[in-house]
């Protein structure tokens, strides 16, 4: 299998259900780490001018609203977020599927909460439709370690590439010496390494 890099010019970022209630259900990764990683992806996408689709499910219920920090980083994507009414597989939501496909890019990066419900099904659907999909495992999580492991294994067996936040950011940047790379290091990478 040959390697062809995901870049800011050829990939779309999907952030699925990073909601204050839903994130509280995650036990497979510390919530602060998961939240920081999702925000690192959002900030990187903004710097690289990547298309970003945000979605949430049933914000008025236990799942709660999307985390406010996403609005601060990606105000337009936040305003245009797809608010699903309980549809488990976001790709089964007509508006989400349309927004995901609108940029015309066949490479998709997904981070979602929870990996074992909200991430696995859109990832599987997109792979089955011929998309190249990377799931950022540490920018999401599940209520149990076993549930997370099963979801990641299922996705990988179906052809999803599993990655980590730092790995995909480095891949997207390509070089820290570009104008974008010079911004990503101090604005995204260094604050996370310093625990900010």
Give yes or no: 110 in active site.
no
Query: Cβ(66)–Cβ(38) under 8 Å?
Result: no
CA distance 196 to 194: 6
Q: Which one of 118, 133, 135, 168 is the catalytic residue?
A: 118
CA distance 67 to 193: 21
Q: What one-character-per-residue DSSP string does 124-160 give?
A: HHHHHTT-EEEEEGGG-B-SSHHHHHHHHHHHHHTTP
Strand pairing of 107-112 and 82-84?
unpaired
Residues in the chain: 196
CA distance 90 to 123: 10
Tell me which residues are annotated as active site. 118
């Amino acid at each position: 299998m040959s390697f062809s890099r995901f870049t800011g010019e050829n990939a779309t970022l999907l952030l699925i259900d990073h909601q204050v209630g839903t994130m509280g259900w995650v036990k497979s990764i510390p919530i602060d780490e998961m939240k920081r990683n999702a925000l690192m992806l959002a900030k990187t996408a903004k710097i690289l001018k990547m298309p970003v689709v945000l979605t949430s499910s049933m914000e008025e219920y236990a799942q709660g609203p999307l985390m406010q920090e996403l609005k601060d980083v990606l105000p337009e994507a936040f305003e245009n977020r797809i608010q699903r009414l309980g549809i488990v597989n976001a790709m089964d939501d007509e508006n989400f599927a349309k927004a995901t496909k609108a940029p015309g890019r066949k490479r998709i990066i997904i981070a979602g909460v929870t990996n074992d419900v909200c991430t696995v099904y859109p990832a599987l659907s997109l792979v089955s439709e011929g998309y190249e999909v990377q799931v950022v495992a540490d920018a999401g999580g599940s209520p149990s370690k076993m549930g997370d492991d099963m979801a990641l294994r299922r996705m990988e067996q179906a052809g999803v590439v599993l990655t980590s936040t730092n790995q995909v950011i480095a891949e997207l940047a390509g070089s820290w010496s570009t104008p974008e790379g010079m911004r990503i290091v101090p604005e995204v990478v260094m604050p996370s390494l310093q625990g900010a």
